[in-house]
Structure 1
Amino acid sequence: MTEPVPVEPAGWLTLPDVAERLDVSISKVHQMIRERELLAVRRDGVRRVPAELVANRTVLKHLPGVLNLLHDAGYADEEALRWLYLADDTLPGTPAEALAGDRAREIKRRAQALGF
């Protein structure tokens, strides 16, 4: 059996783009990242956020909880990104895609199980 390969997020937002989309200051975006309400990783030397994690003018509702569970399980930001974007045939796509739909509680349960 082959190892699942993570898919790339559909798009990336720079931190100023996130601030504009959420209608908050750039310092608030940095705070959200520090407090694990939002995930940012470096791409081409610039911190970026997967666009689908920012739904309209808010962060996906269950994202902060999942990020905290992944952090508690020892996942660094890059590892959390990989986990969120790893294709899973038991889900409609990836955990990140399922977070945006009606499977968010299942994603939180799976993230919590990683800590055991």
Structure 2
Amino acid sequence: MELTELIKDWRTLPDIAELLDVKITKVHRLLAEDALLAHRIPSASGGNDLVRAVPAAFIVEDGEKSRVLESLRGTITLLRDARYSDEEALRWLFTVDESLNGSPLEALRNGHKTEVRRRAQALAW
């Protein structure tokens, strides 16, 4: 299954910058620091153009302000330690795990960081 089928809601990097109310360079820094993951998806204008985009589920609403899901950074670090590529990490985060009653990302969003990270850490072994 393609990532764009698994993950339905994407935001381009400029959209993420606008949501977070930061400059685009900050979004690039968040990607470089493994606080976010991006993937190239077809542009909205069609054609063969691909644009870097971030799953919308990585952003949470906090009152009137949006922010990056805090527990994501450490989880991405553990997936990197397991030598997961961005695509593999995105697939793992969004694939339903019945024992978590949803995907690892849903579990992170519901505050189950410890269990998700325990599973991510086990991937490296």
How many angstroms does 1:10 deviate by? 4.2
Residue correspondence of structure 1 range 1-116 to structure 2 within 5 A: 8-44=6-42, 45-56=50-61, 57-116=66-125
Q: Secondary structure at the match of 2:100?
A: coil
User: Number of paired residues?
Assistant: 112
Q: Which amino acid aligns with 2:11?
A: L
Q: Secondary structure at the match of 1:39?
A: coil
Higher relative contact order (CA 8 A, sep 6+): 1
The answer to whether the 8 A contact 1:9-1:52 is kept is no
CA distance in 2, matches of 1:21, 1:62: 19
Q: Which amino acid aligns with 1:81?
A: L
How many angstroms does 1:88 deviate by? 0.7
Segments of structure 1 that go 5 or more residues without pairing to the other structure are: none
How many angstroms does 1:102 deviate by? 2.4
TM score, norm. by length of structure 2: 0.84
Larger Rg: 2
CA distance in 2, matches of 1:28, 1:102: 25
CA distance in 2, matches of 1:95, 1:74: 18
Q: Secondary structure at the match of 1:37?
A: coil
Give deviations 1:32-83, integer Å, cap 9, x for gaps. Answer: 0011011111111111100011112111111000001101110010000010
Segments of structure 2 that go 5 or more residues without pairing to the other structure are: 43-49
Runs (4+) of structure 1 moved beyond 4 Å? none
CA distance in 1, matches of 2:9, 2:114: 24
TM score, norm. by length of structure 1: 0.90
Q: Secondary structure at the match of 2:6?
A: coil
